[in-house]
Structure 1
C-alpha cells in the first residue's frame, strides 16, 4: 500500500529534501580533481548534522557512511574512500537525510573537471531520463507509465537500464512501497494519488546492464567496466503534476539552515 501524506508530513518531507539539496549544492562547488570521496562524505555529514538532521544511510543495514559515492563504473552503494578524484572521472553521490523522522533522498552524477564527450552524453541523457519520467507524473496515471517513459528514453539513446535497481516510495522509512522500475509496459500497476511521495531514479550504463557486487558487500559496479550514471529526486504527486521535494526552492519557508 502506498501512503498518502498529510500536509504536515509533506512539510517535514520537504524540509528533509531541502537539506539534501543543500548538500548537493555544496558538492557542485567542492567536486574537483584531488578531492577524496571520504572528504566529500565528511562534508555532507557536517551539513546534515548542522541542520538538526541525521544521515539516513549511516548505519542502514550496517552501511558505514553518510553518502554512497560511486566512481566511473560504480553503479550504486559505493563506500567513500581516500581515493582522489581525477580529471575526467564521473562521480555519483547519493544522499539520504532523516529530519524529524522523515526522509529526503537524492542522487546526482557529477563530472570531475573536463570529461569526455561519451561521459557528457551519459550524464545528459540519464538526467533527461529522470525529467522525462517526472514529467508524466500526476494523480490518475498508472505507476508503470513512469517506468515505461524512463526505459523508452534510455533505449532511444542507446543506454542500458540496470534492471535490478529501482526507485521507491519515501516517507518515514528510506525504502517504502512501491517499487518503481526504470523499464516496462505503461498503464499498469497502482494509480497515483495526490500526496504520494516517490523517489524516481534512473540508473543507466554506457555498456550493458549487467552488474556485480564487490567483496566489500556494498559496492555495485558494471560487469563490463563501462561507466554508469544515476540521477534521483524525491517528489510529491500533485493533482496536476508533481513537486520536487529535494530542491532548494521555497527556502524562505524553511527553518534557518546552514550550508
Structure 2
C-alpha cells in the first residue's frame, strides 16, 4: 500500500521561500516546491508527496516547471530516465491532480501480496505494466466518460444509492430493485448494446380469459405487433425515468429537466430519424394544469417545493410508442392525490383484457379514485377523476388510435355493444388516469406547445413558402408523431410561428394546448402502456417504481 503524505502549508508561510521536508525526499523537489511558494505567494496546500514524488494540480505543476532552474530540470529529467530503466517507474503512479488521486480505487490486499517478493528490474517493470493494463480493461469503474461508472458491481451500487435517495425525496415513488450490471451509471449505453440477442425484458404479465371467439381476426393483429420493439422502448423508458428521478428536485428549471430527459432518451434508444426516438414531447404540467404543457423556448419556469408535476414522456421504436407517466411531488400532503391515480390506473389494468368493455373499466377507475380525499388548509377535500380526460388506444406512429378508455362510469345509454367499446387481442392501450381536487373537468388554458400532424389531413394549398418548408421538416422528422416548438427550434427553424399558424389554419397540423382545472386546485396522473394478448395482458412499461 503506497503511503501518502499531505503537505499542509499555512498562508503565513507561503511567501517565505522555504519549507521543511523530510530528508528522505529529494532536494530537487524540495527546492522546486520552495520556489513555487516564493514565486506566486499562493497557498497550494493540495500538493502531495507520494513515495518520493510530488503530485500537484496542473496550475501548480506549470509554476514548478516555469520557476525551476535549468540545472534542476536536467537533474529531474535524468532521475526520471533512470527510474524508467530500472523499472521503478512502473511501480509509481502517473502524476495526477489531487482530486483524481482521491478518486483512485484503493489497491486490494491481494494486489499487495502479489507485489511482495517480486523481482525488480526491467522484466518486473514490464510485468507490472501488463498487469495494470489488464486491470484497467476488466475494472468496473475505470475509463469511460467523466463521472460515469462503467458496467459492473460499482455501477449497480451507484444506481441503488441513487434509487434509495429518490424514494426518500419523491412522494409515492418506490425504490428500484432490479439493476443491470451491463449498464453504466448514469445510463449511457443504448438498449440494443445491452440486449444483444434482441430479447428485451417483459413487462408485468396478467393472465386473462377470453369471453368470445374471434380468433382469426385477433391472430392477424397479434402477428402485426412487434412486441420486442415495445419492450425495447419500455426498457429505455424505465432507465430514463430512473435517471431523471435523481434530477427532479426543487429549484430545477422545467426546460432543463425536459431537455435532460429528452437527451438521455435519445442516447439510450440510439435515436435515428423516424426509426426510433421520442414518442411525443415531455409533459411537465404543474399543479392545476393536468396535461399538454412543456416549456416553449424562453420559458424559464422553475419546479418548486410545493409543486405537483405530471411527468409524461414517450419512447418509440419502429413506430411502437410507449406512453407512460407518473407524478412528482416533494410534500407529503400530495400522497393521497398521487395514490388515487396509482390505484385508479392499476384497477383499470386489472379489468383490461380481450373483450373487456371500455365503458365498464371507467366505472371501476372512478370508484377507486373517489375513495380518496386530500387535506388542504385543514379541510378535507374530495378527490375526483377528471371526467373529460381518458386513456386511449395506440397504433403504429399514432398516439391516439381511435378508442378511448374513460375514467368515469358511462351513462346507461353509452353501454353499447359496438366494436369500439371493446378491447381486442393485439391492441395496445394507454391506461391513463387523472385526479383533481377541483371540478374534475379541464379546459384549454395558456400558450400551446404540443402539435401533431393530422394523419387524415387532406391536401391544402399553402401560400407561404416558409409553411411548405416547415411542413417538410415536420414530415421528415416526426411524421404523425407529436412534436413541440422547442424541437422545431432545435432543427433550425427558430422563426416558425407564422408558418406553423398557417399549417394549423389549414388543418394540416393540430394544436394541443395545455389542459387545466380551476386555479388553486391540484391534479395528479399515472399511466402505463399495455398490450392485449390472447390470454394475458402485458403491462409493458411497468417498473419497480410504480
The verdict on a shared fold, with TM-score over 0.5 as the criterion, is yes
Structure 2 residue aligned with 1:135? 350
1:79 and 2:294 aligned: yes
**Where does 1:145-164 land on structure 2 (aligned, <5 Å)?**
145-157=360-372, 158-164=382-388
What stretches of structure 1 move > 4 A for 4+ residues in a row? 186-189
Larger relative helix fraction: 2
Structure 1 residue aligned with 2:394? 170
1:33 and 2:250 aligned: yes
* Cα drift, residue 232 of structure 1: 0.5
Structure 1 residue aligned with 2:409? 184
Larger relative strand fraction: 1
**Where does 1:1-259 land on structure 2 (aligned, <5 Å)?**
4-6=221-223, 9-50=226-267, 51-52=269-270, 53-57=276-280, 66-80=281-295, 81-111=299-329, 113=330, 115-117=331-333, 119-157=334-372, 158-172=382-396, 173-185=398-410, 188=416, 190-217=421-448, 218-248=513-543
Distance (whole Å) between structure 1 residues aligned to residue 304 and residue 365 of structure 2: 30
Distance (whole Å) between structure 2 residues aligned to residue 101 and residue 241 of structure 1: 23
* Cα drift, residue 212 of structure 1: 2.6
Distance (whole Å) between structure 2 residues aligned to residue 137 and residue 48 of structure 1: 29
Structure 2 residue aligned with 1:254? none
The secondary structure found in structure 1 opposite 2:313 is strand
* Cα drift, residue 226 of structure 1: 0.4
Q: 1:191 to 1:215 in 2, by over 3 A?
A: closer
Structure 1 residue aligned with 2:458? none
The question of whether the paired residues in 2 share the 8 Å contact of 1:92 and 1:229 is answered with: yes
The question of whether the paired residues in 2 share the 8 Å contact of 1:233 and 1:244 is answered with: yes
Q: 1:128 to 1:248 in 2, by over 3 A?
A: closer
The question of whether the paired residues in 2 share the 8 Å contact of 1:4 and 1:193 is answered with: no
Distance (whole Å) between structure 1 residues aligned to residue 262 and residue 537 of structure 2: 28
The secondary structure found in structure 2 opposite 1:30 is coil
* Cα drift, residue 214 of structure 1: 2.1
Distance (whole Å) between structure 2 residues aligned to residue 4 and residue 145 of structure 1: 24
Q: Provide TM-score, normalisation by structure 2.
A: 0.41
Q: Provide TM-score, normalisation by structure 1.
A: 0.83
The question of whether the paired residues in 1 share the 8 Å contact of 2:265 and 2:278 is answered with: yes
The secondary structure found in structure 2 opposite 1:87 is coil
* Cα drift, residue 241 of structure 1: 4.2
Unaligned segments of structure 2, at least 5 residues: 1-216, 271-275, 373-381, 449-512
Deviates more, 1:224-233 or 1:143-152: 143-152
Distance (whole Å) between structure 2 residues aligned to residue 145 and residue 18 of structure 1: 31
Distance (whole Å) between structure 2 residues aligned to residue 203 and residue 248 of structure 1: 20
- Give the total of aligned pairs: 238
Structure 1 vs Structure 2 CA RMSD:
2.4
Distance (whole Å) between structure 2 residues aligned to residue 106 and residue 17 of structure 1: 9
Distance (whole Å) between structure 2 residues aligned to residue 143 and residue 54 of structure 1: 30
Unaligned segments of structure 1, at least 5 residues: 58-65, 250-259
Deviates more, 1:186-195 or 1:164-173: 186-195
Deviates more, 1:100-109 or 1:214-223: 214-223
The secondary structure found in structure 1 opposite 2:231 is helix
* Cα drift, residue 234 of structure 1: 0.4
* Cα drift, residue 22 of structure 1: 2.2
The secondary structure found in structure 2 opposite 1:236 is strand
Rg comparison, structure with higher value: 2
The secondary structure found in structure 2 opposite 1:33 is coil
The question of whether the paired residues in 2 share the 8 Å contact of 1:154 and 1:204 is answered with: yes
* Cα drift, residue 145 of structure 1: 2.4
What do the CA deviations read for 1:220-251 (whole angstroms, capped 9, x no partner)?
Answer: 221242000011000012344421112358xx
Q: 1:225 to 1:153 in 2, by over 3 A?
A: same
The question of whether the paired residues in 2 share the 8 Å contact of 1:148 and 1:182 is answered with: yes
